[in-house]
Structure 1
Amino acid sequence: MNYKLIIQYDGTRYDGWQRQGNTENTIQGRIEEVLSRMVQAPVEVQGAGRTDAGVHALGQVASVFLDTDASEDEICRYLNQYLPEDIGVAEVRQAADRFHARLNASGKVYRYRIGTGAYKNVFERKYYYPLGKELDVAGMRAAAAILAGEHDFKSFCSNKRMKKSTVRRLQRIDIREKAGEIEITYEGDGFLYNMVRILTGTLIEVGQGKRSPDSMKEILVGRNRKLAGYTAPARGLVLAEVKY
């Protein structure tokens, strides 16, 4: 039977979502380990997005085939009982046999939090980027308006060996101001390696007056990673939702 899982995790101490040969410390690896123990057979979990080391998730989605008589709720309880405290499964539901968490996804929503005030938020330190400087939000919004839509985002990708298309569509980039904080929401049909963090670093540089909003046009046309801004730290980023 094929199952759809909705997963939350604090990515601080993990080497990202995807299982890797050089480390056992991944979200996918931990979930597969618990499920394999439950069904007494090897299990392969398919995630909707390969979040980087240190990136968090509120609504990661995964699909997995399991040979078990356990109910959805029993599978969910088993996972939450044996997974580490910083990984949780919010929901387990049966899915169509052809459902694939990554291949069937139509879009994703990411959020990035930037601390702009002098106040040091000790209890939120792992979930936002403590920049500690005020930013020109109007300028950032003007730059975001240029970046929204369908473009070649090669300049915003860290993978130099990327051979597939780097064209993506950003449905929206929303920038909200709160007390001592700016939250940027990105919704798109897909994201390249480090794309959200590079977009964020570039928008921060606009907010600091280091770049003009209009320079986004040159960055997009140039298709060169060196033209864009720095890669913002992983800890401020969360995968909020996967759309189908």
Structure 2
Amino acid sequence: MRNLFMVVSYDGTRYHGFQTQPGENTIQDYIEASIHALTGETVKIIASGRTDAGVHARAQVFNFETQSSIPIERWCLALNTRLPNDIVIRSAQEVPLSFHSRHSAHWKTYRYTINANAFPDVFNRAYEFHHPTKLDIEEMRTALSHMVGTFDYTSFASRKSTKASHVRTIYKAWMEHDVSSAIPGTRDQGIIHTYVTGNGFLQHMVRIMMGTLVRVGQGKFKSEDIPGIIAAEDRSAAGPTAVAHGLTLWEVGYDLNELSIEK
């Protein structure tokens, strides 16, 4: 038996999230079907985490056990020829049987993108939340800094969350502001990328954080309100849930020693 570790990118626009759901169209369904078509095996892949409907991934990680003897260097091409063109396996390697994509993950980074120009970008509109009115970006940066730490993030969790604990650690969070797309002499503010790295995330957590940051940018909240919003441990204290298509699972981090097979 072999345990294979793979990294996949996908455009989540037309899917109902990553994880298999009864009667739904998911990323997991297509990957498992492609593995079956290649090997004849019926497998259940284990992902580093789920992503919601409409959310994208630059580097989602999954693993599965197989009895196939296909050389590791052939897996990516073989699976990609059997997958839709908006799902691409980027890399594959064999890992110890003890490796588990979710349990072995040390951190995850998400990126949320806001287009703060007057008009949407026709080519990137499926990957950006378009916000055409002015935002106070520096106040948003300050607010974001208050979200870093170890807290009970109930205020930033979906009311449907079933997790026993809402305590998580955000290791770092930062904004990158790109004004190259802004038209000079207009009210365009360019593109705002927000990155959040943590040991784990609750359902809708990053999207609620972003909805709250937008409220700060609009002047409806102040940056100094954030500690109180977190302390409230009440979903109604925070801002709305930002749209899904602005969110991308950016990267998942592992201890490289856990990925190595001793020869």
TM exceeds 0.5? yes
CA distance in 1, matches of 2:141, 2:21: 37
Return 212-221 or 122-131, whichever deviates more. Answer: 212-221
- Structure 1: unaligned runs, 5 residues or longer: none
CA deviations over 1:125-182 (Å, ceiling 9, x no partner): 1010111122111111111111111111001001445341101111111012111111
1:239 is matched with which residue? 249
2:145 match: secondary structure: helix
1:118 is matched with which residue? 118
CA distance in 1, matches of 2:168, 2:82: 38
1:225 is matched with which residue? 235
1:18 is matched with which residue? 19
CA RMSD of aligned residues (A): 1.0
Counting only pairs closer than 5 Å after superposition, residues 193-204 of structure 1 correspond to structure 2 as: 193-204=203-214
CA distance in 1, matches of 2:160, 2:93: 38
1:3 and 2:4 equivalent?
A: yes
CA distance in 2, matches of 1:160, 1:67: 38
Counting only pairs closer than 5 Å after superposition, residues 1-244 of structure 1 correspond to structure 2 as: 1-23=2-24, 25-179=25-179, 180-244=190-254
* TM-score (normalised: structure 1): 0.97
CA deviations over 1:195-232 (Å, ceiling 9, x no partner): 00000000010011000111111211111111100111
Return 60-69 or 6-15, whichever deviates more. Answer: 60-69
CA distance in 2, matches of 1:182, 1:134: 12
User: How many residues are aligned here?
Assistant: 243
Shift of 1:73: 2.0
Identity %, equivalent residues: 39
* TM-score (normalised: structure 2): 0.90
Structure 1: 4+ residue segments shifted above 6 A? none
Shift of 1:120: 2.4
Amino acid at match of 1:4: F
**Is the CA contact 2:159–2:235 (under 8 Å) kept in the aligned structure 1?**
no
CA distance in 1, matches of 2:149, 2:169: 5
CA distance in 1, matches of 2:209, 2:39: 42
Amino acid at match of 2:241: T
Amino acid at match of 1:209: G
- Structure 2: unaligned runs, 5 residues or longer: 180-189, 255-263
Amino acid at match of 1:166: H
CA distance in 2, matches of 1:76, 1:176: 32
